[in-house]
Structures are given as structure tokens and as C-alpha cells.
């Protein structure tokens, strides 16, 4: 048994959680994946019962309220999962001497920058989802000394509900499509993120790290890459954010500076390369 395993993966059935379980299996690390009936992230008693049992050395929290628009009206649910839950989890991990890995988001930044956001950059969240994630980050740092916070962006996988699978279906079924071209960020393969998280864990990293694919693009460019990679013929036209108003604000620019992470684990593969690998494994869409 290493200093890392056994690992408890919270949210193992989600898009990232599934990738994390794959990465842990490939790394030959032992892990458990409690279901919601075994660990309720909104219940202090449930969290304590699972974490304080002492069977795990590391907890990876992949659970989050990720409905960005839904959070604007379901404020209580977003706070419970994204802010209060991580705080209670961090407190339990601190009490048991357990290492906590917590996943956060590019949304904690304001989206008005012109260059990649450094890890130490000031947060300026806009909207309920972004605000609750920023509060969750802060709570983890304050409650747990042995924490690793990983921020990521534009997450996708061969499975689950994500932009890549949505574009795969739409470019297959439609003749024409509009996608915003004035929001710039970096796609991130969930499998790539999971593998880097395992490397950071094994390297005993702590603090905050940014993990994305390499490079940057717009949603329009990503949609075109999905279409072309699958050989679809849908005409995709660029449009502005104003043409598709949403309840929650979207960052115009959310590229994360991954230089600190690259210093630790090596260069991030380019987003086009990672996308090609995911498209080869794409589940039914």
C-alpha cells in the first residue's frame, strides 16, 4: 500500500469520476466509490461516517452541482454541493489526517482577462455557480492542510453530458448550426485531467494547480473540430454570446495558465490531440 491508496472517489458515477476510476485502475491504486446512499455530500454525519472510518488515505471529490444556468434559481442546491459540502469534507479529512483532492473551475475568474489566469490570480466569480465554487475552494484551503485543489475548464469525455458529445449529435443530425465564437478557453479531456491528478498525487503535490489540455480555442472552433473529426457535413456558423442569452453569465476569456503543472508533470498535450483520442472512444450519441 502506498501513501496514496486506498482512495475514496466521491462522485464516481459522474463524467470525471468515471475517468478518475479508470486512471486509478491503470495506476494499480486501490480505491472505493461510495454511492449517494453511502455518502451524502450535504450531510455532515454521512461525510464523517465515511471519511472518519479510516479506511482511505486520500479522498478525491469529483462531485459538484454543474448546471450553470440551473444554479441561478436552485441557489440552495448549488451552495450545498459546491460550497458547504466541500467545507464539511475538508473538516472531516483534516480530523482523520486524510489527503483531500478537490476539483474546481475556470469560472472562479471573472473572464475579462487577455492572458491565461495564473494559479495565484485573484478570483472574481460571476453568477451563482461560479460563486459557490469559489467559496468551496476557500473553505477547502481553510479547513484542510493536506489539500490539492485542481482547477480545470471545458471538461469533456467519450461519455456523459458535455459539449463534445452534444456537438457530435447535432452535427450529425442538422444541416446547419450556430455556435458562439466570442468565448475563448481550453477544452479538457476528463481522461487527461484524471491522469494528471494521479501524477500530482503520486508526486505529493499540494496547493492549487491548473490542469487543461494544451492551447486554446473558441466554442466555435471546438465545434468545427468535432464535426471534422467525425466526418460530418453540418455547416457551422459563428455567432455572438448576445445572440444566445443565458440565465448565468459566461466568461469571455477563461484560459488557465498551466505552467506550474507542466513544471511538475510535463507538457500538456494539445487539445486537438486529446480530442481526437476522445472521438475514437465516443459512446453512442
Residues labelled as active-site residues: 129
Strand boundaries in the chain, DSSP class E: 7-10, 31-32, 58-61, 99-105, 147-152, 155-156, 176-180, 184-185, 188-189, 207-210, 217-218, 235-239
Query: Who contacts 47 (Cβ-Cβ below 8 Å, separation ≥6)?
Result: 39, 40, 41, 85, 88, 89, 92
SS3 category, 122: coil
As a whole number of angstroms, the distance between CA 47 and CA 63 comes to 13
Indicate the DSSP class of residue 80: I
For the chain, the distance separating the N- and C-terminal CA atoms, rounded to the nearest angstrom, is 39
Q: How many CA atoms lie within 13 A of 127 on its CB side?
A: 23
Question: What gap in Å lies between CA 103 and CA 66, rounded to an integer?
Answer: 12
Amino acid at each position: 500500500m502506498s501513501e496514496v491508496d486506498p482512495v475514496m472517489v466521491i462522485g464516481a458515477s459522474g463524467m470525471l469520476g468515471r475517468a478518475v476510476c479508470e486512471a486509478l485502475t491503470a495506476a494499480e491504486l486501490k480505491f472505493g466509490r461510495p454511492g449517494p446512499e453511502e455518502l451524502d455530500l450535504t450531510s455532515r454525519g454521512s461525510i464523517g461516517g465515511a471519511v472518519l472510518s479510516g479506511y482511505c488515505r486520500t479522498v478525491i471529490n469529483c462531485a459538484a452541482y454543474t448546471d450553470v444556468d440551473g444554479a441561478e434559481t436552485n441557489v440552495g442546491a448549488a451552495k450545498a454541493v459546491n460550497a458547504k459540502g466541500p467545507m464539511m469534507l475538508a473538516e472531516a479529512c483534516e480530523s482523520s489526517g486524510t489527503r483531500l483532492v478537490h476539483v474546481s473551475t475556470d469560472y472562479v475568474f471573472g473572464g475579462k482577462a487577455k492572458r491565461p489566469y495564473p494559479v495565484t490570480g485573484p478570483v472574481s466569480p460571476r453568477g451563482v455557480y461560479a460563486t459557490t465554487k469559489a467559496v468551496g475552494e476557500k473553505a477547502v484551503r481553510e479547513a484542510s492542510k493536506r489539500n490539492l485543489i485542481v482547477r480545470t475548464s471545458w471538461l469533456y469525455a467519450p461519455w456523459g453530458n458535455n459539449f463534445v458529445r452534444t456537438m457530435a449529435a447535432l452535427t450529425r443530425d442538422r444541416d446547419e448550426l450556430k455556435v458562439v465564437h466570442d468565448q475563448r478557453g481550453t477544452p479538457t479531456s476528463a481522461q487527461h485531467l484524471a491522469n494528471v491528478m494521479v501524477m500530482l498525487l503520486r508526486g505529493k503535490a499540494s496547493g492549487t494547480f491548473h490542469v487543461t489540455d494544451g492551447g486554446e480555442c473558441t466554442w466555435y472552433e471546438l465545434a468545427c473540430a468535432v464535426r471534422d473529426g467525425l466526418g460530418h457535413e453540418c455547416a457551422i456558423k459563428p455567432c455572438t454570446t448576445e445572440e444566445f442569452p443565458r440565465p448565468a453569465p459566461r466568461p469571455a476569456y477563461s484560459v488557465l495558465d498551466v505552467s506550474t503543472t507542466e513544471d511538475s508533470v510535463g507538457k500538456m498535450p494539445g487539445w486537438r490531440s486529446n480530442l481526437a483520442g476522445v472521438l475514437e472512444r465516443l459512446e453512442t450519441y
